[in-house]
Structure 1
């Protein structure tokens, strides 16, 4: 483990106990390590939404004499490691205003998908798929704008295995759903900053039940991180006024494909049965492709 990896893990482990402003600064450093080298402390503070003095206090809280000493850890890693592709690509997109908003949006989405591919090791995807495939019950925690990727994952997984539910769905209660969790269950949580208030309820439900959590987020420093069995990342960067969930959709579709590989024959048989029922019920158009 490099010095930067050790520092990052330390910040993640302490972030819930830090004062809010220090936590905001730490979260930015965790998710944008190259910026510590490329930008001034004032610019980093501006982007993190804190005062420059907050970053100095954060450095001292982490047992560095000052900001420059903390920055030296990032500089050493920067010289020996690859640049963060998504951060650089999206910045380039934001500077190119000549090709129109649609082209900018598509470029940002390409960068987000590339970031998700580079940031999630095959072993992490496999571990997440195995956990979600074989849990007694599978729950999906996705709120507000993350509801879209959550619904996609729920729909796909219902075709692969039984006992898949979206937490807090219509006709249900999040509190009641979380009260049903056991250590034999698994939860996929999807979220990005600013986090929905339900994230704290999910964290408590995971903590008290012992259910396995797969966290899919824009950061390794979410309130759910201390409880996560496996963590996956996506980028919510966008040139639009609102964050993008396109790479979250990409990751959940990849997870579903990995779960199919994990479940194999039982999942394929279930898919075939459901498909036949959809045609028989009239849910699918009667015209079918030749096999």
Structure 2
């Protein structure tokens, strides 16, 4: 019989445990854990009742969550978050978000634009350069690239597919017109890469993608609003963006910014190969009349 895991002594260790055990947790405990993973500062500045309300669980659920990871009570687990907050600077995105909250008089448009600025700042701040570089390298050199983006994430997925096809061959959007997701996923092989774009609540397709990646041995790059998505265990690299919005619907602005930045990084990775491909495609677009005006002749 295996011995129970020791109680985490740092926030990083606790977060890693939560992510690793997420699938085994009861649903309500998983909801609480996911909120704590993505909002660690809230644990310090908000009451347990406030955190529970934001996570959509009962306060007692957070107590059970703490005990499930070996802590005597909520306050003992909260102490890890307090200690961690003392050692890290405040995130710029948090400051920007606070500014949004403090200025409600500017109207919905101004509030929305400020929230989008905050989400862009968050994406720039939270993603380590090495993770971004690793994601671009994987997508640049994969045998084939498949893009998994459904429902509201279809927009960023289409943008990445269009841009990446300008840079390299064998780039496809999963479940596109004239195909099916099941058929597309059955083609995954080692050496392929999947770029997944998603945010909560996650569609049922994400489970199919996770299963296919695990079965095939393909690499997975995950763009998500959370570190604790169902794809976490299979992801080679995780890049985060914020979907928070003052509107009724989550924002995809920072997801679009991430895929555009990834396309630029892939271009830098492939260099002359990608540049030559862009030139050929551009010449064909002009020659076919796809552009309304003739290309200006070189002097």
TM-score class, shorter: over 0.9
Q: Secondary structure at the match of 1:188?
A: strand
Contact 1:34 1:84 in 2 (8 A): no
User: Equivalent residue for 1:40?
Assistant: 47
The answer to whether residue 224 in structure 2 is matched with residue 223 in structure 1 is no
Q: Any stretches of 5+ residues in structure 1 without a counterpart?
A: none
Counterpart pick for 1:142 among 143, 149, 156? 149
Tell me the CA shift for residue 250 of structure 1.
0.5
* TM-score, normalisation: structure 1: 0.97
Offset of residue 106 of structure 1: 0.7
Match of residue 258 from structure 1: 265
1:1-291 equivalences under 5 Å are 3-289=10-296
User: What TM-score does the superposition give when structure 2 sets the normalisation length?
Assistant: 0.95
SS in 1 for 2:246: coil
SS at match of 1:213: strand
CA distance 1:158–1:65, shift in 2 (3 Å): same
Q: Unaligned regions of 5+ residues in structure 2, if any? A: 1-7
Contact 1:59 1:67 in 2 (8 A): yes
- Contact persistence 2:9–2:80 (CA under 8 A): no
Give me the CA root mean square deviation.
1.3
Contact 1:160 1:267 in 2 (8 A): yes
* CA deviation vs aligned residue, 1:175-216 (integer Å, no higher than 9, x gap): 000000001100000000001110000000101001000000
Partner SS, residue 231 of structure 1: strand
